[in-house]
Structure 1
């Protein structure tokens, strides 16, 4: 194939063609592909253009480049999963149930010591602590404990928390640039067993999430789900 392109962004067209050959197994995993000079001649472009396209593929992990050894197709390229922050109301409604939430606690309190490293709220900043109960058709669905940095979202202190849950309000009003999520299981203590109407010691699924806007922490939330909850995602 002779792909002749002269636009300033022609390296992107070459990258797409190289990507096609990798995906369609024209070049097999582990196979060394033609050198920059050969590809430049084939595509009728400068060698630097081919180099730019190959560097982009190398950054994604699809090819491996070694000095004097050439470029080969990665045998096991990395796969990245993208997770979005779900709105609890929508998750409940997707199950065919009606969502209801109850804010049971809202107060300014110091960040507990065990969160200082993971959620470094600036010294002197106010942290708003909230506890929210979420229901699906009046059945317990999720228990939410949240610390929010009011320096990051000061308007949250007057948000209409009776009409919309903090989860949904933050998704709509607090843009974030990065985050961290942890998944684990705990045994229900007396308070959780009472809320979920289950025996003490029942295994419960927990998600802890921290979101940031650049270097400013926004919120730390711990969500404990009802017994039997399953999280499903795609890769």
Structure 2
């Protein structure tokens, strides 16, 4: 069985931490490492890029990849289960599905999830509540080829957020944090003025070469995210 991107990343880190590849040293070429680990070159490229993003290596075009002389320590962000966030506040969690349908996604989502032109995806809008008050509003697209079992998941009982975290492993992803001015509909939902800033997360997850989901999550105004280094 071919090594996965996550496996390769861990094994490369082990070689750096063991001193096999000292700080500042050049590591073998991508093509040589791909042959050594029996994986596609694209998979090795993503594993090395993940290390570069983490600050462990420096990649230069035509200059190869070197172990960083000054490794940067990054904060790691876990995918939160919104139920846990609400219950940590001492409040009661509930959720309500606003929209759930299988349909063709817009071009931006199709490109993000790497779907072909006529490929359907699952679209879900979920309102997450704390003590019956709106806490967060989620829009999510799911690649049904990557997660076919979600068709039969009891999403009225367990939110898509919680079901995916508990059920579907992932090897990689991208997260963007930003402030978004709420449109009129979301402002009414959160009982605030239009254009009020909302802490918003854009996130994609994937398992090896397949994208699982693309999600936008708007939190109630005033929400703060805290993480550890």
TM-score under structure 2 normalisation? Answer: 0.71
**Larger CA Rg, structure 1 vs 2:** 1
- Identify the match of residue 134 of structure 1 among 128, 135, 145: 128
Post-superposition Cα deviations, 1:137-181, rounded to whole Å, max 9, x if no partner, equal 111100000000110111101100111000000011111110010
Match of 2:151 in 1: 157
CA distance in 2, matches of 1:124, 1:198: 39
Which structure carries more relative contact order (alpha carbon 8 Å, separation 6+)? 2
CA distance in 2, matches of 1:148, 1:63: 32
CA distance in 2, matches of 1:81, 1:122: 35
CA distance in 2, matches of 1:56, 1:86: 36
Match of 2:80 in 1: 86
CA distance in 2, matches of 1:217, 1:97: 33
* 3-state SS of paired residue (2:179): strand
Instruction: State whether structure 2 residue 176 is matched by structure 1 residue 182.
Output: yes
Decide whether the 8 Å contact of 1:57 with 1:63 is kept in 2.
Answer: no
How far off its partner does 1:80 sit? Answer: 2.8
Which segments of 5 or more consecutive residues in structure 1 lack a partner in the other structure? 1-11, 17-52, 65-72
Count of aligned pairs between the two proteins: 180
Which segments of 5 or more consecutive residues in structure 2 lack a partner in the other structure? 1-13, 28-50, 59-67
Match of 1:55 in 2: 21
How far off its partner does 1:123 sit? Answer: 4.5
Post-superposition Cα deviations, 1:16-67, rounded to whole Å, max 9, x if no partner, equal 7xxxxxxxxxxxxxxxxxxxxxxxxxxxxxxxxxxxx251555887899xxx
Match of 1:204 in 2: 198
Match of 1:117 in 2: 111
CA distance in 1, matches of 2:56, 2:216: 36
RMSD: 2.7
- Identify the match of residue 107 of structure 1 among 98, 101, 122: 101
* 3-state SS of paired residue (1:117): helix
Distance 1:63 1:196, change over 3 A: closer
